[in-house]
Amino acid sequence: MQVKAEVGSSLTTAEYIELEKRYGAFNYAPLDVVVKEASGVWVHDAEGNKYMDCLAAYSALNQGHCHPAILETMIDQAKRVTLTSRAFRNEQLPLLCRDLHELTGMEMTLPMNSGAEAVETALKAARRWGYEKKGIPVDEAEIIVCAGNFHGRTITIVSFTTEDAYRKGFGPYTPGFKVVPYGDAEAVRKAITPKTCAFLVEPIQGEAGIIIPPKGYLEECHAACKENNVLFMLDEIQSGLGRSGKLFAYMHEDVRPDAIITGKALSGGYYPVSAVIATGELLGVFRPGEHGSTFGGNPLGCAVARTALRVLQEENLCERSEELGSYLLEKLRGVRSPIIREVRGRGLWIGIELTKPARPFCEELMREGLLCKETHDFVIRIAPPLVVTQEELDWAFERFEKVLTKTI
Ligand SMILES: *Cc1c(COP(=O)(O)O)cnc(C)c1O
């Protein structure tokens, strides 16, 4: 008997929500919109209403929903071979590693699937490097991280979050992490000891509310690391791949990271692909059998990632992000409203900090046809797919202005 493929159904928004509430776990508080179709910056709900996506799946959709070139690659590769596991080699992995080398100048890539797995990979590599290359006594390595960080959801990663909601009730926690204030390079320098193997930082903190550190911060941290033989590792999972107006956000400053952790838009939203892109000295610490992932580096993911990267370059999405981001930021800064505390951003990555909880404003924006999500209670994050046009941003701006000057 042949199994027939089945996609979609024709329930109403209320019915889908009811089903999800009955059978799904409650680890998210989504807006009550059920997306059934999407293209570029636009999504459609179960009733056919249209919205502009101003979150882009936390920047996993920088290339826009259902990008046709990535779709073609996905289908083509899916028909040929999807998974070999790393027990055998596949044709796509070497090509992705080469492409990432050419884009960043880094020597090696280790592919994984989710962002959190790539962060874990970098942490493991850093500890191993600390013991084998730096000579830190075994099991005593320290890694410095920043307050307000977001690096994912594994037990080790939530062990060093400063956000109660991410951490509370999940102990016992993984030791070996030291937290310093974000944006304070002197604090990093002071926290370094002979046992420090790495400093892990987001060039801009997205989840914390688009927190942009002072100019020169990365350079000063980088210098402190280099002077003390400490690895400088960047989590570019959200800030990278065009979001900040550069391919990677660290490229706004003059630094050479030891590791770039990437994910999200690496696959243009089609399929989870993440990677650690690093020096040979760092990733070289792994020998066969010491780290891995069944799906990491699979040919489907690698093919999709290669096209996703080509789309970023050929459609000049970094430049667009820079230009259109400045354009929208200026316009939003011009909005006069007593509830706006600050408007900040870099590239098409803008945070509007309010004096009141942002959630009701996001709900009102949804009714106006804009999908935004609050982050950390008081901030509305605006991060549309980078394929958005100036006209579409003007359309969005009218609605932002309307909602932000309303009394809610
Ligand atoms: C999303 C994100 C992660 C985690 O990625 P997942 O794919 O959700 O595991 C890690 N770091 C940053 C900065 C992120 O934005």
**Is residue 213 in contact with ligand 1, taking CB distance under 6 Å?**
no
User: Is 406 in the active site?
Assistant: no
Q: Which of 150, 241, 349 is the pocket-test mutation for ligand 1 (most atoms within 8 Å of CB)?
A: 150
Compute the radius of gyration of the chain from its Cα atoms: 21
Q: Measured between alpha carbons, how far is 292 from 288 in angstroms, rounded to an integer?
A: 9
Residue type, 34: V
The pLDDT score that the predictor gives to residue 24 is: 97
User: Is 235 in the active site?
Assistant: yes
User: Is 168 in the active site?
Assistant: no
The percentage of residues in the chain with a pLDDT greater than 90, rounded to a whole number, is 97
Residue 268 pLDDT exceeds 80:
yes
Confidence category of residue 3, pLDDT binned at 50, 70, 90: confident
Q: Under a CB-based contact definition with an 8 Å cutoff, are residues 267 and 301 in contact?
A: yes
Token couple for 251: 């490229």
Token couple for 116: 């959190």
Question: Could you give all domains of the chain from N- to C-terminal order, each with its CATH number?
Answer: 13-63+318-404 (3.90.1150.10), 68-314 (3.40.640.10)
Residue 406 pLDDT exceeds 90:
no
Q: For 246-257, what is each residue's pLDDT tens digit?
A: 999 999 999 999
For residue 36, give the nearest of 5, 9, 75, 67 by alpha carbon: 9
Residue 9 pLDDT exceeds 90:
no
Q: For 108-155, what is each residue's pLDDT tens digit?
A: 999 999 999 999 999 999 999 999 999 999 999 999 999 999 999 999
Token pair 């952790």 is found at: 261
The pLDDT score that the predictor gives to residue 61 is: 98
**Is residue 238 in contact with ligand 1, taking CB distance under 6 Å?**
yes
- The phi and psi torsions of 326 (rounded to 5 degrees) equal -60, -40
Token couple for 408: 């809610």
- Is 262 in a helix, a strand, or coil? strand
The pLDDT score that the predictor gives to residue 7 is: 73
Q: For 181-229, what is each residue's pLDDT tens digit?
A: 999 999 999 999 999 999 999 999 999 999 999 999 999 999 999 999 9
Q: Is the peptide bond preceding residue 338 cis, with omega within 30 degrees of 0?
A: no
The pLDDT score that the predictor gives to residue 280 is: 98
The pLDDT score that the predictor gives to residue 6 is: 75
Residue nearest to atom 6 of ligand 1 (CA): 115
**Strand 177-180 relative to strand 196-201, pairing:** unpaired
Q: Measured between alpha carbons, how far is 116 from 346 in angstroms, rounded to an integer?
A: 24
For residue 218, give the nearest of 194, 242, 246 by alpha carbon: 246
The pLDDT score that the predictor gives to residue 4 is: 79
Q: Measured between alpha carbons, how far is 139 from 10 in angstroms, rounded to an integer?
A: 55
Q: Measured between alpha carbons, how far is 111 from 97 in angstroms, rounded to an integer?
A: 9
CA 338–ligand 1 middle distance (angstroms): 33
CA 406–ligand 1 middle distance (angstroms): 33
Q: For 142-196, what is each residue's pLDDT tens digit?
A: 999 999 999 999 999 999 999 999 999 999 999 999 999 999 999 999 999 999 9
CA 183–ligand 1 middle distance (angstroms): 20
Q: Under a CB-based contact definition with an 8 Å cutoff, are residues 73 and 308 in contact?
A: no
- Is 284 in a helix, a strand, or coil? coil
Tally of CB atoms within 10 A around 290: 10
The pLDDT score that the predictor gives to residue 16 is: 96
Residue type, 72: E
Token pair 């290669």 is found at: 306
CA 153–ligand 1 middle distance (angstroms): 8
Q: For 81-93, what is each residue's pLDDT tens digit?
A: 999 999 999 999 9
Give the atom of ligand 1 at the shortest distance from the alpha carbon of 153: 9
Q: For 363-400, what is each residue's pLDDT tens digit?
A: 999 999 999 999 989 999 999 999 999 999 999 999 99
Q: For 312-368, what is each residue's pLDDT tens digit?
A: 999 999 999 999 999 999 999 999 999 999 999 999 999 999 999 999 999 999 999
The pLDDT score that the predictor gives to residue 402 is: 97
Q: Under a CB-based contact definition with an 8 Å cutoff, are residues 206 and 239 in contact?
A: yes
Q: Under a CB-based contact definition with an 8 Å cutoff, are residues 211 and 183 in contact?
A: yes
The pLDDT score that the predictor gives to residue 2 is: 77
Phi-psi region of 171 (alpha: psi -120 to 50; beta: other; left: phi over 0): beta
Token pair 């249209």 is found at: 50
